[in-house]
Amino acid sequence: MSVPLPHPPVRANPRLAQVRYDIRGELSRRARELEAAGREIMHLNIGNPGRFGFAAPEHLRRAVAEHVGDSEAYCPQQGLLSAREAIAARELARGAPSASAANVFIGNGVSELIDMSLRALLDAGDEVLLPSPDYPLWSAAVALNGGNARYYPCPAARGHLPDPDEIEALVTPRTRALVVINPNNPTGAVYPQELLVALVRIAQRHRLVLLSDEIYDEILYDGARCVPLAPLAFDVPTLTFGGLSKVHRACGWRVGWVGLSGARDSLTEIHHALDLLSSLRLCANVPGQWAIAPALNGPDTISALTAPGGRLYEARRAVVEHCAQSKFLEIVAPQGALYAFPSVRDGTFPEFDDHSFALQLLESENVLIVPGRGFNIVEPNHFRATLLPSPAQLREVFARIERCLARMAAMQQRNVA
């Protein structure tokens, strides 16, 4: 009787070699090891409101609870009609052309819908224009669906805003789509209307699809205003992404949506593709969908948090004030979203490495951050921290960051001497 040969290692998809997600990567695994050993780690790596004492508004909880009995069957693949009607009504009120319930797809968070949309759009080798820094799920979804990411820079020197001329210079015959993340994750930049109009004109000239990630659209500071892209785009096919996870602090419910707008004839094929992909996954989480209409039609529960005196505003203030007084850090004050993206001042550390710093900070000060290069930038001197801890917690965290940098500076001086 022959002895069976050992089975060779199961090969993973080689496209995964192009994917990184440092938000939950190597450093996060090390943090879990330290916690298992009894260390208390401050997690600033993820924008997860429920882990920092925030709760979904009570009227949304009631809506879900009241409809548990109505949530045991699959719903239509695009989502509950009442929820899609509420989303479409909001988009129409904002001026989005051709917004309708028929053009809305509800998903298990925006993450799923980004992946589905790029799967529907891309052929092998197609290019997608992405901001640098970007939210790395966008880069991952492009790579996993056979596309190539081309990055347009959004440096701190320009307030983390892109230059339309630099974007247009990246367009090739293979360019299929232009991604806009506004308000931006990780930088907190909020794009002015004139910039958005310039991006629309690029899409018009080159027949690109606009993909507008607006998940943080109501998390704004100091009078900043998020201008929706779809109303400016007119006939340009535009996919607008939103959801309950951030503005409504309901991350774990996994409720997101994408709305299609633009010239009706231009949407037919992408609509059919999204409908097919939605059918293949049967439907999105049903209970959470009952919260969509109350969220969009109910009371504003975010502005009090982002206004002076509100918890998010004061957390942001704590970070900005620390960076202004720091020997080592500087920052472009975030105008929106839930993150700060500080950098180490030029010349302070000639060979600064963001990953090495993040690891030292974790090991020595029990603070977990995300290195800036995890957001697909070249410069090694940034890091991202969420603004969700309390202002007092953030002051303590940034004092620890300052201590770690001071130790690094002292060691650098000793090495030079």
Question: Is the backbone of residue 262 left (phi > 0), alpha (psi -120 to 50) or beta?
Answer: left
Long-range contacts of 67-75 (CB under 8 A, 24+ apart): 67/287, 67/290, 68/287, 70/286, 70/290, 71/286, 71/287, 71/290, 72/286, 73/286, 74/282, 74/283, 74/286, 75/283, 75/284, 75/286, 75/289
In the structure encoding, which two tokens stand for residue 383, read together? 């890091």
- Taking only the tens place, the pLDDT of each residue in 105-116 is 999 999 999 999
Say how far apart CA 176 and CA 382 lie, in whole Å.
30
- Taking only the tens place, the pLDDT of each residue in 226-255 is 999 999 999 999 999 999 999 999 999 999
Q: How many helices (H) and strands (E) does the chain have?
A: 15, 14
pLDDT at 416: 65
In the structure encoding, which two tokens stand for residue 257, read together? 């949506």
Q: What is the DSSP string of 205-222?
A: HHTPEEEEE-TTTT-B-T
Q: Which residues of the chain have a pLDDT value below 50?
A: none
In the structure encoding, which two tokens stand for residue 385, read together? 């921290």
**Of the candidates 322, 408, 326, the residue with the CA atom closest to the CA atom of residue 359:** 408
In the structure encoding, which two tokens stand for residue 82, read together? 């009442």
> Which parts of 152-308 fold into alpha helices (H)?
164-169, 193-206, 230-233, 264-280, 286-289, 292-297, 303-306
For 376-393, b/e burial (b = at least 16 CB within 10 A) is: bbebbbbbbbbbbbebee
Domains of the chain: 14-54+304-416 (3.90.1150.10), 58-297 (3.40.640.10)
How many residues belong to the chain? 417
In the structure encoding, which two tokens stand for residue 319, read together? 């970070």
pLDDT at 61: 97
Say how far apart CA 291 and CA 61 lie, in whole Å.
7
Say how far apart CA 302 and CA 55 lie, in whole Å.
11
